[in-house]
Amino acid sequence: MNIILLGPPGAGKGTQSAMLVEERGMRQLSTGDMLRAAVKAETEVGLRAKAVMERGELVSDEIVSALIDAELAAMGPETGAIFDGYPRTEAQARALDEILASHDRQLDFVIELEVDEDALVDRITGRFTCARCGEGYHDRYKLPRQEGTCDKCGSHEFKRRPDDNEETVRTRMAEYRAKTAPILPLYDARGIVRRVDGMAAIDAVKQGVDAILD
Ligand code: ADP
Ligand code: ADP
Ligand code: ZN
């Protein structure tokens, strides 16, 4: 199974991916996570991407498609892929078609998480993650069960992304509207788009996703 989770920043792609990984043994391929790792490691890609990401603009198609190709090449053929935050442009969607074909894979579904833009700033500015294991949280919608302690690994350290501020979120939303939303018709024409109400509670969204994949 190979699926794309599509939706603007804060739609819940990472949150839903993490649950699919846990329950279905699929692999999450998040270009955002890969780029953040590259920035942290100060690789050539990281050095090129850092300022672009801080502004909330899109990193070049060549860079992100190469990252995805390398990840898929390292995966066993039986492991399903969840594309999270990729593709984000028409050029990336075309590149993904070629990459998948070269790895003998086929796209099963594009799951669009439909959300109101007004809710996104709120979601993004309240987002934080465990510094050790990466588990995602929210100041109001998903607090750790025990205050200050990660549910998953017990760590007491959390972090927030430098680009999760209101100004950058507006740029990221505009990028989504201008460059990413236009790839939906491409997949619609193939009959593989499924829509889920991303405004529902996390568990309800999960049920919607599960209903598509089961
Ligand atoms: P994305 O990966 O699409 O940018 P995330 O999964 O990181 O989005 O979610 C953004 C923030 O919103 C996180 O803090 C997450 O805990 C929270 N969140 C995710 N899904 C929901 C939901 N259905 N309802 C409320 N908050 C949510
Ligand atoms: P979010 O979870 O809020 O949707 P991501 O973690 O997916 O954000 O992406 C963070 C930043 O990394 C983006 O604003 C962009 O600069 C860069 N990025 C991630 N994925 C891509 C991609 N597929 N194409 C271009 N830039 C990307
Ligand atoms: Zn943790």
pLDDT digits (tens, 9 = 90+) for 119-156: 999 999 999 999 999 999 999 999 999 999 999 999 99
Which candidate in 160, 161, 170, 179 is catalytic? 161
Q: Do 109 and 212 contact (CB within 8 A), yes or no?
A: yes
In this structure, the residues whose C-beta lies within 6 A of any atom of ligand 2 are 9-10, 14, 31-32, 35, 52-53, 56-59, 64, 85-86, 88, 92, 172
Name the band, by pLDDT with cuts 50, 70 and 90, for residue 118. confident
| Closest ligand relative to 137 C-alpha | 1
Distance 188 CA to ligand 2 centre (A): 23
Does this model's pTM top 0.85? yes
Distances (CA, A) of 73 to 20, 80, 87, 108, 135: 21, 13, 17, 19, 26
Pairing mode, strands 193-197 and 136-138: unpaired
Distance 15 CA to ligand 1 centre (A): 6
55 is catalytic: no
Arithmetic mean of pLDDT, 78-99: 98
Measured from the Cα of 30, ligand 2's closest atom is 7
Q: Is the pLDDT of residue 50 over 90?
A: yes
Q: How far apart are CA 173 and CA 71, in angstroms?
A: 27
161 is catalytic: yes
In the chain, the amino acid numbered 92 is Q
Distance 49 CA to ligand 2 centre (A): 10
88 is catalytic: yes
Tokens matching residue 111? 């799951």
Tell which one of 88, 164, 166, 169 to mutate to probe ligand 2, the residue whose CB is within 8 A of the most ligand atoms. Answer: 88
Arithmetic mean of pLDDT, 58-68: 98
Distance 58 CA to ligand 2 centre (A): 7
Q: What is the mean pLDDT of the chain?
A: 97
Arithmetic mean of pLDDT, 159-170: 94
